[in-house]
Amino acid sequence: MSHVQCLPPELLSYVLELACIAEVPAQTQAAHILGRVSKLWRETVFSTPAIWTTFYISKIGDPRSFDVPLLRSGALPVDVRVVDEATKLKAAREQLEALARHSARWKNVEISHPDAFDLLGKAIPLSLPTLQSLAVKITCQRLSPSLMYFYSFPEYSSAPDIDLEWKSRLYPSLRQLDLFDIEVRPSETEDFLGFLHAHDGLERLALRNIWQYDPYTPPRTVVLPKLKELELRGISSSEVLRWINAPNLQKLVVEKSSQPRYWTTVDIKSNYATANDVTLIRFSTAPDALRNVLGAVPLTSHLKLASTDLRVRYSFCAESILTENELPLLASLHIQGIASMPRLKAVVETYEKTLRSVKIHCLDLGLPEESFIKDYSERDEALAWMKDQTTFKFDIDHSPDAFGGRYQSHEDQKCRRKMLCPGERCGTRR
């Protein structure tokens, strides 16, 4: 202990700050415990504002308990996190109202809660001058083990009849916006796009399942010149791809909804022409849309195609589209759900001058029970050819099942014998 006491005050303060951050979300409790070690530590902890800048909303939280930490944090920006799903709506709103008196210092806000829609609409101030990151996610209400017998799946809370007032929200310093399952109704689409237009300093935008119904098609496109990363998940219509123009985009993730009705040919123009890292999910049932997107991202160097329905007997094969729409800079190809190893070989041969990495999934090497292919010779020949190539790295990744877990076995016995999946995670039955 004597050596620790000899540390310079600045170094001791930094060490204690890291120790408290490592105990998230019990950061405040850790600070009080460290303050009991010695008088020096107590003075250092209480006089280090950075230790007191993160506030968690919890079911046992008391709005009055924020007064002292807010005072100790000085004038530093603070982070507000609502991640305890057990917190009742009333308790969460009371704690947020207590922190709202210092809303001019809010820097990062994260809400992951079953009532996230209500909290965003009624507890988050409309004006936050220093806010840089806003992440709002609706989570399902966890059921107790005794109730799991009566309910097969936990239910998501439906969106309440609350106006989120996108037109009135002003966050001039906003750089990152993540909205998961926060519904934007057709009548609110224009206001939401106006909100994005007013916050053209965004660098990351992630929208997941926010348009639950047939979206209204606005007459304009929002330009976000500083946007580097765009993630659109659960998109119900290809028209959504025309709403945002990101002239300096680097990473693009698009996941279409399982309903292909509204996914038709659409002119994306040059909205995402600079993207070099592209991930497309569930595009096997919308070949025209897949062609459109690939044609709109000519500078793609890293491409991932992920889908669970590419193995269906009559599905459209992404390999054919890749061969038709050549990407001159493609260096990395990751496909989950290939329909044919020989066709994948043809794609690799098309891009042999630029490809440096190819990754598929272990499940692609075995065949599903309903498969009509019984001859493995062509597949094994193409697989051997891929493994023998030296111009690119060939990997076989693990395939998650429908619930995100690990497949325990494959239908194809050859895959188990060859142990093609790394780490022996699915090569043998457990």
Q: CB–CB of 371/416 below 8 Å? A: no
Whole-Å CA distances, 430 to 65, 215, 422, 424: 49, 46, 15, 10
Q: Which two tokens stand for residue 39?
A: 């008088």
Return the DSSP state at 253. E
Q: What is the distance between the alpha carbons of residues 202 and 199, in angstroms, rounded to a whole number?
A: 6
Torsion of CA 226, 229, 233, 235, to 10 degrees: 40
Structure confidence at residue 185 (pLDDT): 83
Structure confidence at residue 411 (pLDDT): 43
User: How would you classify residue 136: left for phi > 0, otherwise alpha for psi between -120 and 50, otherwise beta?
Assistant: beta
Structure confidence at residue 166 (pLDDT): 94
pLDDT in tens, the chain (430 residues): 566 666 676 777 777 777 766 656 556 667 767 777 777 777 777 778 888 888 888 888 788 888 888 888 888 999 999 988 888 889 999 999 999 999 999 999 999 999 999 999 999 999 999 999 999 999 875 444 444 444 444 444 455 678 899 999 999 999 999 999 998 888 888 899 999 999 999 999 999 988 765 656 666 789 999 999 999 998 877 888 888 999 999 999 998 876 656 666 677 888 999 999 999 988 877 777 888 888 889 999 999 988 644 444 444 566 677 877 778 999 999 887 765 777 788 888 889 899 999 988 766 665 443 444 555 677 778 888 888 888 999 887 766 544 445 444 444 444 444 445 544 444 433 3
Torsion of CA 117, 119, 123, 129, to 10 degrees: -70
Structure confidence at residue 214 (pLDDT): 60
Q: Which two tokens stand for residue 197?
A: 């237009």
> Which of 117, 158, 160, 164 lies closest to 136, judged by CA?
117
Residue linked to tokens 């040919």: 265
Residue linked to tokens 């944090």: 73
H-helix or E-strand containing 383? helix 377-388
Structure confidence at residue 311 (pLDDT): 44
Q: What is the distance between the alpha carbons of residues 267 and 289, in angstroms, rounded to a whole number?
A: 10
- 384-396 core/surface letters (b: 16 or more CB in 10 A; e: else): eebeeeeebebeb
Structure confidence at residue 6 (pLDDT): 67
Structure confidence at residue 381 (pLDDT): 84
Q: CB–CB of 174/196 below 8 Å? A: no
pTM of the model: 0.82
H-helix or E-strand containing 45? helix 39-46
Q: CB–CB of 102/78 below 8 Å? A: yes
- Exposure of 268 by Cβ count < 10 A (0-12 exposed, 13-18 middle, 19+ buried)? middle
- 62-78 core/surface letters (b: 16 or more CB in 10 A; e: else): eeeebeebbebbeeebb
Q: Degrees (nearest 5) of the Cα angle 382, 384, 386?
A: 70
